Amino acid sequence: MEFNILNHFKGLEEMPTDPLKADEIGTSLFMTGNMGPQISKKMDEKAKAAGMTRRNFIKSSLGFSAAMLAANEVTGKRFFEVGAAEAADIDAKNEAIHLARASSDFIVDVHTHVCTRPGHYQLGVNTSERGMWFVQLLDDLGKAFGMANGTRDMNVENYGKLILEESDTTVGVFNPFGFREHYGGEDMIPMEYQVGVRNKWPKSTIMLAGGLTPNQGLGETLDRLRMYVADYKISGLKLYTFDATPQKGWWFDDEKLAYPIWEECRKLGVKNIGCHKGIPFGQFYARYAHCEDFDAAADDFLDLNFIAYHSAWPYHNELAALKGFKPQRKNLYCEIGSTFAATVTSRPLECAHVLGTLLRDLGPDYVLWGTDSLLWGNPQWQIEAFRKFQIPDELIEGHGYPKITPEIRRKVFGENAARIWGIDKQSAMSAKAELTATATA
C-alpha cells in the first residue's frame, strides 16, 4: 500500500490496536474514516445493547460486526451482510464466522510483503531522502496497526505469525521492492532477504521476483531475470513501471526496453507478470501508475498473464476499459490489495463501484484477492470484510454490476490465483492445517 493512511483515517494512531487482533484494526478504521463520528456514536448504542463497556466492546470481535452494521445504517445502504445478532451476541458472531469460513475457506493472498532488510534503512547512510519518504509512510502505517517498530516488524517472523498463522490466509504470494538507487545501491527488499519467507513456509507461499527495470540496463535486467529463475525458482514477477533511475520510469509496451524481457519470460516459463498500477505513492510519479501500456503487451504476448496490482485504483476505469471493450482478452488480471483496504471502511460506496466495475468488465475469473499485508498488519479484518461485503441492489440496477455471490467470492479469494499459479488446493489446505495446529499447540 502506498497512500497516506494517517491523513485519511484521522486519529487512527490513538485507537487501541493489538496486531494479533485484526478485528480491532478493522473497527478502528471504521471509526476514524469519513463516517467516523457517526459510526462512533452508533457504537455507543451497540455496546449498550450488548451489555458491554464501550472500550471492551470495541476491543471485542462484536465491535467489528457492529461497525459494519453502523456503516449500513449511516449510508442507508446494505454494503455489509451482517445481522444485528452478530453485533450483540458472541455465539451468533461465532456461528457467522463459522458459516463464512465454510463457504470461503481457501484464500490466496496475491499481494503480501516483508518490508525490511539486514541493516534496515538509515537516512544518509544507506537511504536517500526520497527513499525515506516511502519508508516513513510504511513505518507510520505499521505503528498505527500495532507493530511497535514499524517496518522493522514487517519481517520474516511476523509474516508467518500475522499472515499465515493468525489469519485465514491459506497461501501468501509475496514480492520485493527494488528502487536500489534510493537505498544505497541495494534493493529496498533484497531477494536474498525475502527468500527467507519461502524457505520457512515452502508449502504456504509463492515468491515473485521484482526490482527489475530496464533503465538500469537491459542486459543487466535480463541477467538478473535469468538468475532469479535459476537460483531462486521464482513463480512470476511483480514490477514497477516507475523507478528510481534518472529516467523515472518505463512502459510494458516499449518494444525496445520491455519486449525483450517478456520474450525472455516466455523462454524461461515465467508466465505471471504483475505490475504496481494506480496508487502513486512516495517518491514516484503518477503517469507511470496508468495502465494503458498493458494494452499492446497483452495482445502481443497472449501466453503471458498481466496482473494490474491495486487494480490501478483510482484509474481502475482505464483498466476495466481494456477488457470491457475487448471481451476476447483472456490474459488481463487485476488484484485489489490496498484498494479494498483503503476504501471498504471509509468509502464503501467507492469500494462497491470499484469492485463492481472490475467484476463487470474484467469478469469474476480475472479479479484476484490481495491485502498488501504486512503493510496493513494482520489481514484477517480484510478477509472478514470481504466475506461480508456486498454491492447494494440500487447499484446493481443502475450500473449492471454483478451481485457478489458465494461463487464469485471463492473465485476472487483463491480459485483464480490457484488456476494461474497452479496451486494444489488440497496440499495448501493441509499445510495450513498443520501451521494452525502448531501455532495453537
Binding residues (CB under 5 A) for Zn ion: these are: 372
130 Cα distance to chain centroid: 24
Q: Nearest distance from residue 38's CB to Zn ion, in Å?
A: 31
Indicate the residue among 187 and 295 with the shorter CB distance to Zn ion. Answer: 187
Q: How many whole angstroms separate alpha carbon 6 and alpha carbon 175?
A: 24
Instruction: Tell me whether residue 250 or residue 376 sits nearer to Zn ion (CB atom).
Output: 376
Using left for φ > 0, alpha for ψ between -120 and 50, and beta otherwise, residue 78 falls in: beta
Hey, CA dihedral for 387, 392, 398, 403, is it positive or negative?
A: positive
Q: Are 353 and 395 in contact (CB under 8 A)?
A: yes
For Zn ion, which is the closer residue by CB, 243 or 372? 372
Q: How far is the CB of 337 from Zn ion (least distance, A)?
A: 6
Q: Which is closer to Zn ion, CB of 187 or CB of 372?
A: 372
Nearest approach, Cβ of residue 287 and Zn ion (Å): 19
Between 295 and 372, whose beta carbon lies closer to Zn ion? 372
Closest residue by Cα to residue 104 from 168, 174, 166, 173: 168
* Contact yes or no for 263/226 (Cβ under 8 A): no
Backbone angles phi, psi at 186, to 5 degrees: -120, 145
- Rg of the chain on CA atoms, in Å: 21
Angle between helices 90-103 and 61-75 (to 10 degrees): 80
Give me the least distance between CB of 276 and Zn ion, in Å please: 7
The CA-atom distances, in angstroms, between 219 and each of 47, 288, 365 are 62, 22, 36
Cα–Cα nearest to 412, from 389, 436, 380, 381: 389
Residue 309's H or E segment, with its range, is strand 305-309
**CA nearest neighbour of 208 among 252, 291, 270:** 270
Residue 88 vs 147, nearer CB to Zn ion:
147
Find the shortest distance in angstroms from Cβ 372 to Zn ion.
4
Least separation in angstroms between CB 274 and Zn ion: 10
In angstroms, rounded to a whole number, what is the distance separating the alpha carbons of residues 412 and 259? 29
Q: How many residues does the chain have?
A: 441
Name the residue nearer to Zn ion (CB basis): 66 or 374: 374
With CA atoms as reference, report the closest residue to 438 among 110, 102, 204, 105: 204
- Work out how close the CB of 43 gets to Zn ion at its nearest, in angstroms, rounded to a whole number: 31
Tell me whether residue 140 or residue 295 sits nearer to Zn ion (CB atom). Answer: 140
Distance from the first to the final alpha carbon of the chain: 33
Least separation in angstroms between residue 44's CB and Zn ion is: 36
Which strand ranges, in their side-by-side order, compose the sheet holding 108-112?
A: 108-112, 171-174, 205-207
Q: Which is nearer to Zn ion, 372 or 384 (CB)?
A: 372
Beta carbon of residue 203, minimum distance to Zn ion (angstroms, whole number) = 23
Q: Which residue is nearest to Zn ion, using beta carbons?
A: 372
